[in-house]
Copies of this chain bind each other. A is one copy, B any other.
């Protein structure tokens, strides 16, 4: 049986692309046929790695009749322009998170895709992770009663990964509210039903040399009465992988003894060095090498994940983890194993592929992406104005259909 392949053009060959590359090359439903990036070394590498054309400009790639869908993985501030270029060329779209930098941008993208009658999927985010989906299915089934409360936290080294200056400028989409909150918010919205009612939050810039928000703590209420707290810090101090068996975000084992590595590497670099460091390890750069995530699968791999999350229902606490869903029920505590997809992040391609080939509406569509970004914008606004923010662009999670456990 030969599966129909989706012919994909990649807009932006940077870090998001690197992280998605294992998915794109291992999933048999995808064929990479074109790429676009302003960096000549990325284009050179691309034409070596793939039997596809490399473009300097996204708009030119979108005009390529060989592609039927565009993966928008450019820097955030270009998402709207690139999505609209793809839609104008009648290409389906997978747009990286954060969807865009304002509600207006998100709305324009949704409207443009709608008029062009192309699919718009927003992802990857960790709400695609199969254990998160399974947790939502359990909530939806009512098997453990109503969901009432959620709590989530994640502590990482995000702020000390090498950055371009714009990535440390909130106005240009820098900082953890644009880059990490979408994962946590998307996941809480997914499990909680989607309809956030209000946001109260505080944000923190804890390193004066990197002047963008690196931490936040926020309180959400949902229309269905659920209350949720979420906390994130990217300052490379406490590492919450300590709480989840030292399995990292990518579902791979982490070495607990490598404390402070990101900060240490960066502290030896000045600003020019940091740019060079980032460029070198970027796709096409001299330190990129052959990505092991592409060339070989590790012996053991677990689900991707995003820190600690506990969803409290009347008859159980649910905790999606890298191994499945931990169900702390009235009588017993058990791990409901969830099969690890053969290809990481395959769940994203499932939605994109079904949308393009069967016309099935994606869960993570433009309206979903906008709703998640509205929460993120509200985190910034609540912290800035010191007050609770009411939301108005939320959408519910569609019924997923319950799988018996």
Enumerate chain A interface residues (CB-CB to B < 8 A). 145, 148-151, 153, 155, 200-204, 206-207, 215-219, 221, 225-231, 233, 235, 237-239, 243, 259-260, 263-264, 308, 310, 312-314, 316-317, 319, 326, 328-333, 383, 386-388
Contact = CB atoms under 8 A, between A and B. Distances in A.
Given A153-B153, A204-B227, 14 more contacts: A151-B153, A200-B200, A200-B219, A202-B219, A202-B221, A216-B227, A218-B229, A233-B312, A235-B312, A237-B328, A237-B330, A238-B328, A259-B333, A260-B333
Contacts of A313: 206
Contacts of A387: 388
Contacts of A386: 221
Copies of this chain, complex-wide, total 2
A237 B148 contact: no
A387 B316 CA distance: 28
24 contacts: A148-B204, A149-B204, A149-B217, A149-B233, A151-B229, A151-B231, A153-B310, A200-B200, A200-B388, A202-B219, A217-B219, A218-B219, A229-B229, A237-B316, A237-B329, A238-B312, A238-B326, A238-B328, A239-B328, A243-B243, A243-B308, A259-B333, A260-B332, A264-B331
A364 B332 CA distance: 40
Contacts of A227: 201-204, 216-217, 383
Contacts of A204: 148-149, 227, 312
A354 to B, nearest CB: 34
Given A331-B260, A332-B259, A217 B229 contact: yes
A167 to B, nearest CB: 20
B233 A317 contact: yes
Contacts of A150: 217
B219 A219 contact: yes
Contacts of A151: 153, 217, 229, 231
Given A201-B227, A235-B312, A312-B206, A215 B149 contact: yes
Residue of A149, A260, A314, A316 with most chain B CB atoms under a 10 A cut-off = A149
A215 B310 CA distance: 13
A330 B235 CA distance: 9
A314 B217 contact: no
A317 to B, nearest CB: 4
Contact of A231 (B229, B235, B314, B326): B229
